[in-house]
Structure 1
Amino acid sequence: MSTCRHPLRTLGATLALGLLGACTLPPAAAAKLPPPAVDAPRAAAHGEQVAVFAGGCFWGVQEVFEHVKGVRKTWAGYSGGSAVTAHYDLVSEGDTGHAESVKVVFDPSQVSYGQLLQVFFSVATNPTELNRQGPDSGTQYRSMIFYASPEQQRIAAGYLAQLGKAGIYAAPIVTQLVPLKAFYPAESWHQDYASHHPDDLYIAINDTPKVANLRQWFPALYMR
């Protein structure tokens, strides 16, 4: 069942889906996760790097990273499949190989890749849910890290191992770590959807709390 694809829902249906999502928020919703033991040093010079994350409906994931200091731009889109089928109606069927993803362009002198991972796992995704996230189900909602360089692969693999050994989660971590082959921006109406529709009940119930947690747990990284 795909719920992210139905922005206009009845009050009863949205509340029911929201309550389901509230039961499956990231286990880290009770506390901020520790930072990665392995991370990249802050770059001395300003520049840009790219990170791509998938953690459920891209509306909420994009909204989280839009509020992280050092992030210059984000896009909602699709990764993991081909360009031919990188269209919402096709991706929403769950059989194109894509995951709803968010491309993050960031300044490594202001925020490290490891800090982005810490935010991702603390706030944006539940890494123990397989082919779903909260009220949204299907392979397009799977949790994934698309690494753009060997350094990102090393840092992400180290953090996944670190979280697993720490025993933070009651269930196994199923977040996939794969190379970034391509990112396809989603349709224009998806871009910054949460910012443009803060009163949408899906957003209010499932995504607004994520930004609130970001503000509470990462005050030094939070940006209005």
Structure 2
Amino acid sequence: MPNVPEGHEQISLGGGCFWCVEAVYNRLDGVKSAVSGYTGGPLKNPTYADICTGTSGHAEVVHLVYDPEKINTETILDWFWKAHDPTTLNRQGNDVGTQYRSAIYYYSDEQKSLVDASLKKAQKDFKTPIVTEVAKASTFYPAEIYHQDYYCINGNKNGYCRAVIAPKIKKLGLENKEKSAE
């Protein structure tokens, strides 16, 4: 589990491939860390191979640690609704399976209230019902090292990055956004 410094908060978000979610949140001021990993299933210490079977019960997520003085939970969630389609069950684009589900794993009752209010507000922007799983966070397992900062390291070299992540970053207006030093 990533370290959560005093005064910071955490939340885990699933919006399809974790490389995409991580690429978005790595660009936002106030996000101290965005770690790709797995949560939401019963298997202990899952691997990427386990997740890819679709039978582990886990979702690909990004565990965020953020400074609420710089970026609050509501803003974190606003970006979440913009960064993927929360109305498609168990898929984002060509990524299909329960591991790609839209999910929010919260860490406190206060955060759960913020999530519920945010979902209700976001639903007004979609014609079909939001199917995002909302659940209390369970054990988070960081993904293998080669998944961490994937877009940052492989953005120009990898076809998936060029075809899927780069257009998403551009659509969100984050292509030239660099985080300030934390």
Partner of 1:15: none
Asked whether the equivalents of residues 83 and 184 of structure 1 are also in contact (C-alpha less than 8 Å), the reply is: no
Residue 44 of structure 2: aligned partner: 84
Letter matched to residue 151 of structure 2: A
Q: Give the equivalent residue in structure 1 for 2:17.
A: 57
Q: TM-score, normalised by structure 2?
A: 0.89
| Residue 75 of structure 1: aligned partner | 35
Question: Is contact 2:35–2:64 with CA below 8 Å preserved after alignment?
Answer: yes
1:163 & 1:152 partners in 2: Cα distance?
16
Q: Give the structure with the higher percent strand.
A: 2
Cα distance in 1 for partners of 2:150, 2:46 equals 18
Which residue pairs with 2:149 in the alignment?
192
Contact kept in structure 2, 1:100 and 1:140, CA below 8 Å: yes
Select between 68-77 and 168-177 the one with higher mean Cα deviation. 168-177
Find the aligned partners of 1:62 and 1:194 in 2 and give their Cα distance: 8
1:205 and 2:145 matched: no
State the Cα distance separating 1:58 from its structure 2 match.
0.3
Point out the structure with max Rg over C-alpha.
1
Instruction: Give structure 2 stretches of 5+ with no counterpart.
Output: 1-5
TM-score (norm 1): 0.73
- In structure 2, give the amino acid aligned to 1:209: P
What is the RMSD of the two structures over their aligned residues, measured on CA atoms? Answer: 1.8
- Tell me, which stretches of 5 or more residues in structure 1 are unaligned? 1-45
2:178 aligned residue: 223
| Residue type of the alignment partner of 1:62 | E
Match of 1:172 in 2: 129
CA deviation vs aligned residue, 1:83-104 (integer Å, no higher than 9, x gap)? 5251110110001110000001
The number of equivalent residue pairs is 173
Structure 2 residue identity aligned to 1:101: V
Residues 1:160 and 2:119 are matched in the alignment? yes
Structure 1 stretches of at least 4 aligned residues deviating more than 4 Å after TM superposition: none
